[in-house]
Amino acid sequence: MKGKNARAFPHFLTKNLMNNVNFASDILRHFDLDHVSTPYGNGHINNTYLVGTSPRFILQRINTDIFKDPDGVMENILAVTSFLRAKIVAAGGDPLRETLTVIPTNDNHPYYRTPDGDCYRVYMFIEDAVSLDSASSPEVFAESARAFGKFQRMLADFPAEKLHETIPHFHDTPDRLRIFRETLAKDPVGRAAGVQDEIRFVLYRAGEMSTVTDAIADGSVPLRVTHNDTKLNNVMLDAKTGKGICVIDLDTVMPGSMLYDYGDSLRFGASTAAEDERNLDKVRFDLDYFRAYTEAYLEALGDSVTPRELELLPFSAKLMTLECGMRFLTDHIDGDHYFRIHRPNHNLDRCRTQFKLVADMESKMDQMQQIVSECARR
Ligand code: ADP
Ligand code: GN1
Ligand code: MG
């Protein structure tokens, strides 16, 4: 660790930690896959590995087919995490547990690009914490709402103009519909004929897909700095207390609507079954989970929520689920290039759970609206 290999450690790392980081950096200096221990987690996008023993690190190959500007992604992540770190420290919190910590390469770059062009980054592993693929109770789910709500609130005064748009039009549902239609017209692997019911499901709902983008355009829904990928497994909960401690997977932090974050959380976390469940009888939208999330999220956001945002909360849960189902269907028709799959028709299975949830939400929309009004009055 000397000469040109000396690395600039983040100043907030304690000396003790730095010693440990020095140890691990011998591995990370080479940064080749021989040193990778275990594939880790259930993300659909990046390749994630657990590295080291004490301390442990997360090594990720950034999916550059999807994130075409890794410099922009890492600039966003560094900007957001250092902004959060200052607030966490000021509040007496532990920044190593409450936000992601990027470990730079030996030459102080936020990621390493191999001669083949693969891009790897390293984070401190957040210890004594879990990320869940399903919540065992509404209260557990509410903890994720508190964490995402706090994240949103802490970023309320982040200078949004600093952010790169890492995936343009990410939650622009009408644009997603356009891509769906284009893919369908090409039908590159001949799968359209086998998914006619799902195609009809999308097209029948085309008219309502611009509701949130229209509200952003007319100013009734403000642009905020949002996470945009608020799946339950993108938040770490304390392993002992169950409290939400850290929002992770910051690749898509961009200007957006809080309706995206709120809706996407419910899409995933208020389902009674896994996102890829094949038995659709098991898939329902759980109103107790909906209520618990809504109550905790609104409490965390305080009075910053506008009337139009409040009005659109139930609809946004449906819209984000419809959009995600349409994205899974598009990828299925396209030949599975975007979301990682583990079995044939995996994206189609995922699409079907989403559409089952959409239909269930449609039948429960009045109750959802009632629940939102009750939570908003509290
Ligand atoms: P993807 O974009 O593919 O979803 P994520 O960044 O969400 O990748 O990482 C995948 C999983 O790895 C997460 O759901 C979580 O379980 C785990 N993970 C990621 N970063 C950390 C971290 N810093 N500490 C502990 N676990 C992590
Ligand atoms: C992806 O990265 P991950 O697995 O947390 C996707 C989300 C989808 C989600 C569906 C960058 O999230 O938009 O809602 O899968 N992320 C990206 O499970 O496309
Ligand atoms: Mg993730």
pLDDT in tens, the chain (378 residues): 233 333 333 333 333 344 444 434 444 554 433 455 678 999 999 989 888 777 788 989 899 999 999 999 999 999 999 999 999 999 999 999 999 999 888 778 899 888 888 888 999 999 999 999 999 999 999 999 999 999 999 999 999 999 999 999 999 999 999 999 999 999 999 999 999 999 999 999 999 999 999 999 999 999 999 999 999 999 999 999 999 999 999 999 999 999 999 999 999 999 999 999 999 999 999 999 999 999 999 999 988 899 999 999 999 999 999 999 999 999 999 999 999 999 999 999 999 999 999 999 999 999 999 999 999 987
Radius of gyration of the chain (CA): 21
Residue whose CB lies within 8 A of the most ligand 2 atoms, among 231, 342, 351, for a mutation test: 231
- Sequence letter at residue 199: I
Q: Which two tokens stand for residue 107?
A: 């030459």
* pLDDT for res 35: 57
* pLDDT for res 37: 62
User: b vs e for 160-178, b when ≥16 Cβ sit within 10 Å of the residue's Cβ?
Assistant: eeebbebbeebbbbeebbe
* pLDDT for res 39: 82
* pLDDT for res 9: 37
* pLDDT for res 20: 41
CA–centroid distance, 364 to ligand 3, in Å, is 28
Q: Which of 293, 236, 207 is nearest to 58 (CA)?
A: 236
CA–centroid distance, 175 to ligand 2, in Å, is 17
Ligand 2 site residues, Cβ closer than 6 angstroms: 43-45, 229, 231, 234, 249, 251-252, 264, 275, 324
* pLDDT for res 26: 43
Q: Which atom of ligand 2 is nearest to the CA of 267?
A: 14
Distance CA 205, CA 203 (A): 5
* pLDDT for res 14: 38
Distance CA 252, CA 75 (A): 12
pTM across the whole model: 0.92
User: b vs e for 59-96, b when ≥16 Cβ sit within 10 Å of the residue's Cβ?
Assistant: bbbbbeebbeebeebbbbbbbbbebbbebbeeeeeebb
* pLDDT for res 17: 40
